[in-house]
Structure 1
Amino acid sequence: MSPKGRDILKSMVGAVEPARPEASGAPPPHRPSGAVKAMNLSLGRLGEEAAAAKALRESLASGDKVLEIDPAAVEMSFIRDRIPVDKDPEFERLKQSIQESGQQVPILVRPDPVKAGHYQAAYGHRRLRAAAEIGVPVKAVVRKLTDEELILAQGQENGPRVDLSFIERALFARRMDEHGFSRDMIAQALATDKPETSRLLQVAQTIDPEIILAIGPAPKVGRPRWLAFAEKFREAGGQKKAQAAIGAAAFHTLESNSRFDTIWKALEEKSAPQRAEQTLRTRSGGTLASVTRSGKTFRIAAKSAAFSEFLARRLIGLAAEFEEENEGK
């Protein structure tokens, strides 16, 4: 094991829950594979576990008490940051870890501002859900937090990690915006700059939230494709195409990334040209012809032999008039 790996192991206190590796601030110069990639992922996981253990030590040192609370008495944060999925392997691993070794890292809650004896979670929603499903109390640090402090704690817990996908962060930003939080507060909670905050909001405010929730977190889909998706969704008929794709029988059997791909393909399909039909009549109401226009196609079906002859005589003159009107264009 490398010196870095030994240092990480030395800094850990007890076993902690499995977590995902921290996201780097800048993209890596290359993508390692095989054993190198596995080692990097392992060290990243160890680093995050060490950070969690350090946070627990600091919390205890600062005088925070870890209480055991009935999960039923703890509400989710008033702004959700995750998109629920039907199958979540990471959650199942977390649940198994708590069953076997107990909950090692407490969640953060505040007293519920309305319900006496109840709490609201700032972060640790997966641990809360796991404890509820297992049927054991959840370990929690209780602090008095304002709405702003709760959102900052929630965002800064998840922001540096790869748990939240781009679209989850975008939807979280939209929900904060709808609750009246400033752009500065949203950027601070997401640990990002204003341009990136604007991009997140641009995507989440363009795409219908129901469409986003139907797709799910799509962890393999990053910012560029979501921005392009939003542009396609904004085009005429985009929402109808997306809803039609979601309504297909096989859609809900797909995993989240494949759902994104399915709707992406639907948005790329060209819509059938709109047909416009008109009936030409005489002043007395007699039918002369029906006119159909579809895209670049313009069709006149004469219903009167006399009108058909009239049009045939006028066509050469109409072509000349058209040429005069468009001369020089």
Structure 2
Amino acid sequence: MARKNLIEVSAAESAAPDTATPMTATRPLAGFVAPTVRSTPIGGITKTLGSITQKFERAQDIEKQLAEGQTIVELDPAIVDGSFISDRLGIDAAELAELVEQIKSHGQQVPILVRPHPQDKGRYQVAYGHRRLAAVRQLGTKVRAVIRELSDDQLVVSQGQENNARTNLSYIERALFAVRLEERSFSRDTIMAALGVDKAALSKMISVVRQIPVELIEAIGAAPEVGRRRWMEFAELAPKSRLKDLLALLSADNCRAMSSDQRFQKAVEIVSRRPDKARAATGAKVWVPSDKSVSVTLKTTAKKATVTLEASNGPRFAEWIADNLGDLYEAFRKSEKETTGD
């Protein structure tokens, strides 16, 4: 059957699935100036016979609308993939929960920017809006998006500029993003445009990451309160020969429960110790119950042992131990006699 009336101007069509609506916001998306929107309103998509034909017609119609003006469409999050290059060290669970509630209450006010997936036809790839996409996925609704044909360079510039505008990436996340772009052979000009920095600032960013093993940065996390100077000082303190021990300590449950800023400070404290003390600390034993309500860390040296109790039940558990030291010591003595015969 011949295609007809692909784009109809009709009030009834406004309720059709995958609705596309013209953008009225004056804020340019991804640094691109929005083209003048045609005076003729663009409606929905008429149905055709057969599910395969219908999908084809709808895809063709979206392409036509986008070619005529900057248009917001609704996409199934299941067909939207993340950027080919990460700019974050994870998404903070508390911030994501807050964003979910905002979208649930007020709707998704700002669309994400995607491009047709370069390798997987019928799918899309995010330029920016990863947190909004994650929130919408949790809500089980469609995601509002602008689709643009973007080269790899245009995508990373859009990705970086949006994050700069929102100022929600930490210094080390931006520096790591710069290094990842450089490792993918993007030019320094493209990287500077993406991050909104000059050549000197970019060189310092790359220098920081080059001096600190990436796995250590990832173990610490975004550390939003920590700037370039403190990361540089940390780089000078952190010998690569002790990387394995440092990663083991930062991976312990009591450290994972900390914020990334607290983990950074913990890492600084560890690498600031004298080598003999640092080596002794690496022998620490950690015990955590299944409910993770308390974390017990035992550190021993030739002359003393230190027990640290952390997490929500740590203080109460410490008080209970203090109140029952007599019984605990008797149990210890009994165990010693059974083991040694003394």
Taking structure 2 as the reference length, the TM-score comes to 0.60
Maintained 8 Å contact 2:79/2:122 = yes
- 1:148-297 paired onto structure 2 within 5 Å: 148-233=153-238, 235=239, 237-272=241-276
Maintained 8 Å contact 1:211/1:243 = yes
Output the CA distance in 1 between the equivalents of 2:87 and 2:142.
23
Output the CA distance in 1 between the equivalents of 2:139 and 2:120.
25
Output the CA distance in 2 between the equivalents of 1:211 and 1:201.
16
Maintained 8 Å contact 2:223/2:260 = yes
1:238 deviates by 4.3
Q: Deviations over 1:187-237 (max 9, x none)?
A: 11100011111111111122222211111111111111011111212x363
* Secondary structure, aligned partner of 1:78: coil
Gaps of 5+ in 2: 1-23, 38-68, 278-342
1:171 deviates by 0.9
1:53–1:270 CA distance, 2 compared to 1 (3 A): farther
1:95–1:53 CA distance, 2 compared to 1 (3 A): farther
Larger Rg: 1
Identity %: 43
Higher relative contact order (CA 8 A, sep 6+): 1
Output the CA distance in 2 between the equivalents of 1:237 and 1:56.
48
Matched residue count: 220
Q: Deviations over 1:40-68 (max 9, x none)?
A: xxxxxxxxxxxx95327974855111110
* Secondary structure, aligned partner of 2:275: coil
Gaps of 5+ in 1: 1-51, 274-329
Maintained 8 Å contact 2:255/2:263 = yes
AA aligned opposite 1:156: Q
* Secondary structure, aligned partner of 2:74: strand
Q: Which of 115, 134, 142 is the matching residue for 2:139?
A: 134
1:260 deviates by 0.3
* Secondary structure, aligned partner of 1:103: coil
1:166 deviates by 0.3
Maintained 8 Å contact 2:222/2:260 = yes
Q: Deviations over 1:163-200 (max 9, x none)?
A: 00001101111110111112221111100011111111
1:238–1:202 CA distance, 2 compared to 1 (3 A): farther
Output the CA distance in 2 between the equivalents of 1:247 and 1:214.
7
Matched residue, 1:144:
149
1:124–1:198 CA distance, 2 compared to 1 (3 A): same
Q: Which of 83, 87, 100 is the matching residue for 1:77?
A: 83
1:248–1:104 CA distance, 2 compared to 1 (3 A): closer
RMSD of Structure 2 on Structure 1 (CA)? 2.1
